[in-house]
Structure 1
């Protein structure tokens, strides 16, 4: 995609600026959302893998239930509180893909396991034991996946250490080790589609190899779980991968557009903002800052010339969100010729670079279908962050 195409409105542009939405606000195109859900569900179904969308992307009960209704096997979350909130909403299968520790959270996890099919994460025998002790005392076992570091350098043991750590965790009373998982975040650094395919397949194959090494140590390990929207389409096809956990795919954002996984038409969510200042022809300010859209640039530096700034302004090509403070988006003209005026009061539609942060910051989405407002979806309260 050329820089001109990236900054030129497509057929999905300028649909929502006039809607009765208080700015800054989220607007979700329900039809585009559903098409995205159906596409990924079909990919998972055809590949014979489970689909556990990462619902920390939105933290909205209605969105999660809609993902289940349209083919997801369960939901992935980042916090135990998120899992509890989705279980309250009726989701029956959940994976907390973030290690938890301690008796207090173990007791909550035990309670949750009695009303939902629950998977937990760990990457150490010590953390596993802090959970297993509580489950064992109740005559139960916590089903756990071992986190593997596939190159991001976040949580997870190295592939070389995985069999040793897996054996130690499998021996913990009250624990059943049932799989491995990773977040193959390095795939977001891909410079083009070919590079993305290579990185994704390599990550999937490396995880399958880790699983085989652990199985050779006598642990059944039925689940091999991969987790990134960037790579989901490719890793689903790797033999031996059994589960994918994409999150952003449901909405899409500039990061996915830059990778070639999405377009303006499949970017189902916009941040609507108002121009509140236009003191010079080549600069302006909007009422949406880092609390509304995040300060993230597109993940791969190779794409930042093509997709500059902190979001794609759909209905004002040539303008970019150059900088952000908490409540201000600082706009700068980067187009050719004389800047297009942005009168104070103008409303802009912006595809965020990182949709997860937009949902977390604004929390309420206005749902639009056929150009009409159909209602609102609200995100979970602060308790879901625990």
Structure 2
């Protein structure tokens, strides 16, 4: 059977190798690991690889992804990373054992949903320690925790923080100690144990590897470093991991020599952008069958060092292949390594076939 294009080739065995390296680091610190599969849209082979490497629970931002994980029949807790939507509270409680929350209102809605479903729900109170995405401001957290302790069908099990996503704030000894101090204040105010302190995502791994992570931090939510083998603070290779875990393969649908600068009066493109072009003369250009509807075209790196991504429209990827070293012809395949943002789109797009490769 001929493999279709565009396709995303996934190597779960290689991802499992990466996971073992990262999870061993976390476990040596005495911390649990939530395996985050959202960048591959919770692909079942990747989830199995992560759990087989020792993940303690599965985490995702989307309820449909958690529902698909639940259908696999895996006996591990599930965590919803995205702030719960009140209108979807019943589905949240049904498919997520634990949620990350940033308001008493959300916790109350979840407690009510748990009552109606006849269950108890676990929650982590998120604290904003400087990145300015989700989280209760530190001085308000004890009051929220005290009120949450009175909710009849909800167990507040800990606190957490998110860093390096919105504001790019790097996890540090200072903001991690702040998280511990806020937990202690919440514990005193509420009388709850609050034993779980979730110290962030893959961006926390450099601090953990340095040996400076406070010992009280005992939970991490790890995705990108496992899937792509990258240090998310600078996108360098994470020590001991592989980067050949996923591959985008496209197909050349047009090959022509054309000028490198558009001809005629120019306005905004289809995405409202005014683009500047480098005049490199007449060049051999290829169009491939993928576009911005499926991925971030700025986030894919051609395997052929002689190929350069020029840009893309919603349906087409435009390449300069004048200096290509590989096969360049109509119908030839062109491979790329996607970064995190590009992979997120590829895995989500229904127009990109997903293929599992072994070995």
Secondary structure of residue in 1 paired with 2:237: coil
Matching of residue 94 in structure 1 with residue 74 in structure 2: no
Pairs within 5 Å for 1:278-297: 278-280=255-257, 281=283, 283-295=285-297
Measure how far apart 1:99 and its partner are. 2.4
- Structure 1: 5+ residue stretches without partners: 1-18, 191-195, 296-308, 371-386
Q: Distance in 2 between matches of 1:64 and 1:233?
A: 24
Structure 2 equivalent of residue 240 of structure 1: 216
- Structure 2: 5+ residue stretches without partners: 258-282
Q: 1:75 aligns with which of 40, 54, 58?
A: 58
Whether the aligned pair in 2 keeps the contact of 1:80 and 1:96 (CA below 8 Å) is: yes
Whether the aligned pair in 2 keeps the contact of 1:77 and 1:97 (CA below 8 Å) is: yes
Mean alpha-carbon deviation: is it higher for 240-249 or for 270-279? 270-279
Q: Distance in 1 between matches of 2:242 and 2:37?
A: 22
Rg (Cα) greater in structure? 2
Q: Distance in 2 between matches of 1:41 and 1:255?
A: 15
Secondary structure of residue in 1 paired with 2:222: coil
Q: 2:301 aligns with which of 279, 292, 312?
A: 312
Whether the aligned pair in 1 keeps the contact of 2:15 and 2:49 (CA below 8 Å) is: no
Q: Distance in 2 between matches of 1:149 and 1:155?
A: 6
Pairs within 5 Å for 1:117-136: 118-136=97-115
Matching of residue 321 in structure 1 with residue 309 in structure 2: yes
Structure 2 vs 1, CA of residues 332 and 212 (structure 1 numbering), >3 Å: closer, same or farther? farther
Measure how far apart 1:132 and its partner are. 0.9
For the aligned residues, what is the CA RMSD?
Answer: 3.0
Structure 2 equivalent of residue 154 of structure 1: 133
Higher relative contact order (CA 8 A, sep 6+): 1
Q: Distance in 2 between matches of 1:26 and 1:271?
A: 5
List per-residue Cα deviations over 1:98-128 (Å, max 9, x = no partner): 22244x6443345447xxxx11222111111
Whether the aligned pair in 2 keeps the contact of 1:204 and 1:235 (CA below 8 Å) is: no
Measure how far apart 1:137 and its partner are. 5.3
Q: Distance in 2 between matches of 1:257 and 1:131?
A: 34
Q: Distance in 2 between matches of 1:122 and 1:339?
A: 51
Measure how far apart 1:252 and its partner are. 0.6
Whether the aligned pair in 1 keeps the contact of 2:120 and 2:155 (CA below 8 Å) is: yes
Structure 2 vs 1, CA of residues 327 and 143 (structure 1 numbering), >3 Å: closer, same or farther? same
Whether the aligned pair in 2 keeps the contact of 1:310 and 1:321 (CA below 8 Å) is: no
Structure 2 vs 1, CA of residues 200 and 55 (structure 1 numbering), >3 Å: closer, same or farther? farther
List per-residue Cα deviations over 1:79-100 (Å, max 9, x = no partner): 2332222112112310112222
Q: Distance in 2 between matches of 1:138 and 1:368?
A: 40
Work out the number of aligned pairs and report it.
Answer: 322
Mean alpha-carbon deviation: is it higher for 251-260 or for 209-218? 251-260
Whether the aligned pair in 2 keeps the contact of 1:254 and 1:352 (CA below 8 Å) is: no
List per-residue Cα deviations over 1:182-202 (Å, max 9, x = no partner): 321259958xxxxx6xx4544
Whether the aligned pair in 1 keeps the contact of 2:131 and 2:168 (CA below 8 Å) is: no
Structure 2 equivalent of residue 301 of structure 1: none
Q: Distance in 2 between matches of 1:169 and 1:340?
A: 61
Whether the aligned pair in 2 keeps the contact of 1:101 and 1:130 (CA below 8 Å) is: no
- TM-score (norm: length of structure 1): 0.73
